[in-house]
Amino acid sequence: MLTKTSVDGSLRALRTLRLLVLVSLCVFISVSAASSPAQEEDSAMENIVTEKKAEESHRQDSADLLIFILLLTLTILTIWLFKHRRFRFLHETGLAMIYGLIVGVILRYAVQVPRDTSVVSACFVNSSPATMLLNVSGKFYEYTLRGEFSANDVKDNEMLRKVTFDPEVFFNILLPPIIFHAGYSLKRRHFFRNMGSILAYAFVGTVISCFVIGLLMYGCVTLMKHLGKMGGDFFFTDCLFFGAIVSATDPVTVLAIFHELQVDVDLYALLFGESVLNDAVAVVLSSSIVAYQPQGDNSHTFEAMALLKSLGMFLGVFSGSFSLGVATGIVTALISFLFTKLRDFQLLETALFFLMSWSTFLLAEACGFTGVVAVLFCGITQAHYTFNNLSPESQDRTKQLFELLNFLAENFIFSYMGLTLFTFQNHIFNPMFIVGAFLAVFVGRAANIYPLSLLLNLGRRNKIRSNFQHMMMFAGLRGAMTFALSIRDTATYARQMMFSTNLLVVFFTVWVCGGGTTQMLSCQRIRVGVDSDQENSVNGLERRSTKQESAWLFRIWYNFDHNYLKPILTHSGPPLTTTLPPCCGPLARFLTSPQAYENECQLKDDDSDLILTDGDISLTYGDITVSTDATGARTSGGLATDDLDRELAYGDHELVMRGTRLVLPVDDSEPPFTDHLRM
């Protein structure tokens, strides 16, 4: 088939181009379509028939949404071209931004629609309720509050406002799937091996960079004030807030390339782990910084109480969201553990899994915690426990479902970023601030990576080499999270300036840093195409040492998890009767799943951590969760080294396989037995 297509490749390329043109035409058509109903609105202005107006606005909304759908379609087709031609200089997200920019320009300059808003300045009310009833000649009309409205909007063009989504959409609808997917795919030997370092980068590092950036920006801002370059208030808390939201890294581009080129697994794990966790930290940090501002008076002086308050809030919200996410994850695991027969109805299973994960977010939001953070840890828990109870088919389904959602949400956000650069109403581009911000972001990242790496290297046996450090420094892209956090509130002057600046930071990092990844890799001489298994066998010495290194944190957790949690929450792991002290025998017998005994005698010895590697594999195994217990049986006393080895080895394999679909048409179907033998 390949030969065939290469024969008429040229013809196909022609068609392809024609099609791209076609789709982009559609975009423009729909752009104009989006504008036309709005014009009609003007004429319909007089009559009070609300149905007509509602219908108009519905058609309008459909047209607006259509623009984005077609944008995504266009992006997908082009991405495909790039992947097909192995272009690596531009990632799909970068592409989405470019298309977004183009449409933004069109909307901004090509389409001009007068707005339809009557200002009821007649009645001065002393409060702005969430819901309001307007008495129009005896009839009541219900209005819902949309938020405050900066005066300069009023004059502006309807079209632009129409394509502006409610900022909360990003945080409450588009971000959760992305974060959940990150958590769901964050389950890898190297993550655990480097757990300590990752946690250090994610928590300590993010806080450092937040404060470094904050201080630098404060200096920049004060300087601007002196030079009279500042058009409004900009307090220290705002600077810190800026530092917090811009500290959330999102190297999706880099990771995609790393994965494609099979870059050194440790580096991958460090970057991925950090980026996943520091999002959570940044979210909570920013919210607690906002909480710091004294409510009553606008005196932005230092206040011990307020500081303590927001410190407590940080800890409270973070631990709350964390435990909530883990809790729901465990509940799901329990359900899928008890309802074993659920496996016969994959649809129900998948639906249940999806709903439980979603409810985590809602529950957290309803309790006043941060849904995104909860979802992240829920995802990690799901991957670790629930996943093992799912039927192989549901494992595929869920993975594919969240993969798809993640893909769509991510590209939507990035294309919206491109669009909003032109369609957003209250941009404030302050050259000095922007330059300062870029500097601060750079320095902040440096202050995060280098000192921490230095400290960590004191503890680590396999040092984080300098070229790795440079690479991590370089890979500090900003993305969806920064955007979602900064678009959430653009009421004040300071926030508007931050938003505009953040957009530029994201564009720059995604295009320049993202695009230059391959070059950077080569000039830093970082090994690519690492076959992890071979790596194991070759420098086994390093492996031993690193195991010593990670032991103190990793082993404790592993033992507890493997001997107690897994048996209780999944059908894998050793029977509790062997792990628990004899005194609680009855309890153990009650809690242990019958399969645990059943499979104690099995010979096939692969840790269930393997399961997330790839659906195809777990399919080849059939019911894989069952087959861990030989391990369990042997390691019940403690942790057999070869057992750990084997798990780690599988972890590698997993890395090579993960998310293949996203990047390259690698053949997934190769069964893991091969490298089972290889070792």
Nearer to a copy of itself, 287 or 509 (CB): 287
Q: Which residues are within 8 A (CB) of 672 and not within 5 positions of it... i.e. 6 or more apart?
A: 606, 610, 613, 617, 620, 650, 653
Asked whether position 401 contacts a copy of itself by CB under 8 A, the answer is yes
Stretch of 93-101, 178-186, 364-372, 442-450 contacting a copy of itself, by CB under 8 A: 364-372
Instruction: Assess contact for 632 and 573: CB atoms under 8 A.
Output: yes
Nearer to a copy of itself, 108 or 343 (CB): 343
Residues 248 and 255: their CA atoms lie apart, in Å, by 15
Q: Site residues for a copy of itself, window 408-427 (CB under 8 A)?
A: 408
Exposure pattern of 617-642 as b/e (b: 16+ CB <10 Å)? bbeebeebbbbbbbbbbebbeebeee
Closest contact distance (angstroms) between CB of 562 and a copy of itself is 23
Q: What backbone phi and psi angles, to 5 degrees, belong to 116?
A: -120, 90
Q: Site residues for a copy of itself, window 254-293 (CB under 8 A)?
A: none
Asked whether position 152 contacts a copy of itself by CB under 8 A, the answer is no
Neighbours of 218 (CB within 10 A): 21
Stretch of 375-383, 401-409, 467-475, 530-538 contacting a copy of itself, by CB under 8 A: 401-409
Nearer to a copy of itself, 221 or 373 (CB): 373
Query: For 474, how many CA atoms within 13 A lie in the half-sphere containing its CB?
Result: 23
Q: Site residues for a copy of itself, window 500-559 (CB under 8 A)?
A: none
The conformation of residue 166, written as its DSSP 8-state character, comes to: P
In the numeric block, the tokens 């890799």 are attached to 521
Q: Which residues are within 8 A (CB) of 473 and not within 5 positions of it... i.e. 6 or more apart?
A: 445, 446, 449, 450
Nearer to a copy of itself, 41 or 675 (CB): 41
Nearer to a copy of itself, 367 or 473 (CB): 367
Q: Site residues for a copy of itself, window 575-604 (CB under 8 A)?
A: 594-595, 598
Residues 511 and 96: their CA atoms lie apart, in Å, by 11
Q: Quick one: which of 629, 624, 633 has its CA closest to 672?
A: 624
Stretch of 185-193, 276-284, 311-319, 361-369 contacting a copy of itself, by CB under 8 A: 361-369
Residues 311 and 293: their CA atoms lie apart, in Å, by 12
Nearer to a copy of itself, 85 or 226 (CB): 85
Stretch of 198-206, 360-368, 432-440, 605-613 contacting a copy of itself, by CB under 8 A: 360-368
Nearer to a copy of itself, 31 or 505 (CB): 31
Nearer to a copy of itself, 110 or 347 (CB): 347
Q: What backbone phi and psi angles, to 5 degrees, belong to 131?
A: -115, 145
Stretch of 4-12, 202-210, 257-265, 512-520 contacting a copy of itself, by CB under 8 A: 4-12
Closest contact distance (angstroms) between CB of 23 and a copy of itself is 8
Closest contact distance (angstroms) between CB of 108 and a copy of itself is 20
At position 353, the amino acid (one-letter code) is F
Q: What backbone phi and psi angles, to 5 degrees, belong to 224?
A: -60, -40
Q: Site residues for a copy of itself, window 623-652 (CB under 8 A)?
A: 623
Residues 338 and 325: their CA atoms lie apart, in Å, by 20
Nearer to a copy of itself, 19 or 435 (CB): 19
Closest contact distance (angstroms) between CB of 27 and a copy of itself is 11
Closest contact distance (angstroms) between CB of 363 and a copy of itself is 6
The residue from 42, 50, 585, 640 that contacts a copy of itself (CB under 8 A) is 50
Closest contact distance (angstroms) between CB of 445 and a copy of itself is 31
Q: How many residues sit close enough to a copy of itself to count as binding (CB under 8 A)?
A: 121
Instruction: Assess contact for 470 and 524: CB atoms under 8 A.
Output: yes
Residues 103 and 91: their CA atoms lie apart, in Å, by 19
The residue from 46, 431, 525, 581 that contacts a copy of itself (CB under 8 A) is 46
Q: Tell me how many degrees the CA angle 425-426-428 measures, rounded to the nearest 5.
A: 135
Closest contact distance (angstroms) between CB of 324 and a copy of itself is 12
Binding-site string for a copy of itself from residue 9 to residue 38, where x marks contact by CB under 8 A and - marks none: ---x--xx--x----------x--xx--x-
Nearer to a copy of itself, 358 or 564 (CB): 358
Tokens of 99: 């298309």
Q: Site residues for a copy of itself, window 69-128 (CB under 8 A)?
A: 69-70, 72-73, 76-77, 79-80, 83-84, 115-128
Give the containing element (helix H, strand E) for 570. Answer: none
Distances (CA, A) of 447 to 155, 206, 291, 439, 440: 44, 10, 26, 12, 10
Tokens of 662: 């996203």
Nearer to a copy of itself, 221 or 409 (CB): 409
The residue from 192, 234, 407, 483 that contacts a copy of itself (CB under 8 A) is 407
Asked whether position 303 contacts a copy of itself by CB under 8 A, the answer is no
Closest contact distance (angstroms) between CB of 22 and a copy of itself is 8
Nearer to a copy of itself, 141 or 552 (CB): 141
Task: Report how far Cα 130 is from the mean position of its chain's Cα atoms.
Answer: 31
Closest contact distance (angstroms) between CB of 336 and a copy of itself is 11
Asked whether position 365 contacts a copy of itself by CB under 8 A, the answer is yes
Asked whether position 678 contacts a copy of itself by CB under 8 A, the answer is no
Q: What backbone phi and psi angles, to 5 degrees, belong to 540?
A: -60, -30
In the numeric block, the tokens 């592993």 are attached to 558
Asked whether position 173 contacts a copy of itself by CB under 8 A, the answer is no
Q: Quick one: which of 329, 370, 442, 386 has its CA closest to 612?
A: 386
Residues 31 and 140: their CA atoms lie apart, in Å, by 35
The residue from 547, 634, 661, 676 that contacts a copy of itself (CB under 8 A) is 661
Binding-site string for a copy of itself from residue 314 to residue 353, where x marks contact by CB under 8 A and - marks none: --------------------xx--xxxxx-xxxxx-xxx-
Rg (CA), the chain: 27
Q: Quick one: which of 152, 67, 169, 144 has its CA closest to 115?
A: 152
End-to-end Cα spacing for the chain: 36
Closest contact distance (angstroms) between CB of 522 and a copy of itself is 26
Residues 521 and 540: their CA atoms lie apart, in Å, by 25
Tokens of 627: 């087959």
Nearer to a copy of itself, 393 or 542 (CB): 393
Asked whether position 149 contacts a copy of itself by CB under 8 A, the answer is yes
Nearer to a copy of itself, 114 or 196 (CB): 114
